[in-house]
A and B are shown apart, each in its own frame.
Chain A
């Protein structure tokens, strides 16, 4: 069981900044995220795109914002449960919560802050009539363990970075890699596209374009795919394979959080914005893009503000009646949980003769 003061669901910018604000109040944080890396949408969807409305940054790349937030909260030693989705929440008799992920990891905390953005990212599944029959029987939407493809025949579908990158990677692992895409053009980093071209020329990747997988073959397990080629002459043919990996990106879904008994409106969690962004369940807060209230704006900078106020309320729950006044970091410095201290340099006192 992982124990912490504030359990944050979602490791996007709002969740990461919460770690910093909580740390100033000597509260420790642990974050759960369904994605394998912190940063949320900023890292997953648009790491190389600029953001222009982060105060004091005229321009910052989304990926760099994640790096800066991680650096800023580093001394408060956040814990991470990554690649797992928060599934259930159980309120204990003492008012604390146990949150369990889809992989069974349990987290215990007196305060839960949902900073889940638009929800957890789920793979987008192609519209192939019998694909459901083969899920986990040779069809994988996410590659978790590349070793299962060793010496197997693999068909990958998709035209983005993950389709390109995994085709490259698996060309050294699998016995046969076929990449199928609806167009001849791929959208991905130039070096990935060039690498696939090189591997295709060497015969290490079979490239089938423009084409689409329209059906799966097999009894208990995938044994092949039906491909429809749409060049000048339309034709259908079969490719023998052990695995079919459709990589069509991820789309966020509110997911299991929707069943936690929280008041939901417009796919977002209703909170008390006059006070502390608490939900209808005391001890559970919702901050950032995942919440809603009159006048809500889904902006990173609003998430930062909400996180800051939420931490003050969390402090009161965790330390009932304990006195505290807001301090400026410039005055008090920052004492990390790792023993480090950051502080303003002392002024020089020297007489002028």
Chain B
């Protein structure tokens, strides 16, 4: 389990969960949330992770270094609701070992 990292995820009810996320299964943040069932099925990852629905929008609370935003994520966020300066799409954040300590909060469902 040494590849696992610790992430803090605050769900849509405001409850914070400390979860272990594998770094060797090509998982992204949206999938980690789904694997722990921190948001009801059908309310997150609706498009499957193609940056096409924004149902996995989250606010990044820690100053963790994250992959740079690509065009499609930026475009989707520009059409999404409840967007803040620290908004990201969970499906575009691949979990890597240097994300240890990442803290995020799920954006409201829309």
Contacts and interface: CB of A to CB of B under 8 A. Distances in A.
Interface of A: 41, 45-46, 49, 118-119, 124, 126-127, 158-160, 181-183, 185-187, 248-249, 251-252, 254, 266-268
Contacts of B40: 266-267
B47 interface: yes
A267 B42 contact: yes
Given A45-B47, A266-B41, A181 B52 contact: no
B47 A183 contact: no
B18 interface: no
6 contacts: A41-B47, A45-B52, A46-B52, A183-B74, A249-B53, A268-B42
Contact of A182 (B42, B43, B79): B79
B36 interface: no
A160 to B, nearest CB: 6
Contact of B78 (A119, A182, A252, A267): A182
Contacts of B50: 45-46, 49
Interface residues of B, number: 20
B69 to A, nearest CB: 13
Judged by DSSP, the binding face of B is loop
B42 A251 contact: no
Given A126-B81, A251-B46, A267 B52 contact: no
A248 B40 CA distance: 23
Contacts of A266: 40-42
Interface centre among B46, B76, B78, B82 (most CB of A within 10 A): B78
Contact of B41 (A46, A49, A268): A268
Closest 8 CB pairs of A and B: A267-B42, A187-B75, A266-B41, A183-B78, A182-B78, A267-B41, A127-B81, A159-B79
Contact of B46 (A126, A186, A252): A252
Interface string B64-86: 00000001101110110110000
Given A127-B82, A183-B78, 13 more contacts: A41-B47, A49-B50, A126-B81, A127-B81, A158-B79, A182-B79, A183-B75, A185-B71, A185-B74, A185-B75, A187-B75, A251-B53, A267-B43
Interface in B5-63: 40-43, 46-47, 50, 52-53, 55
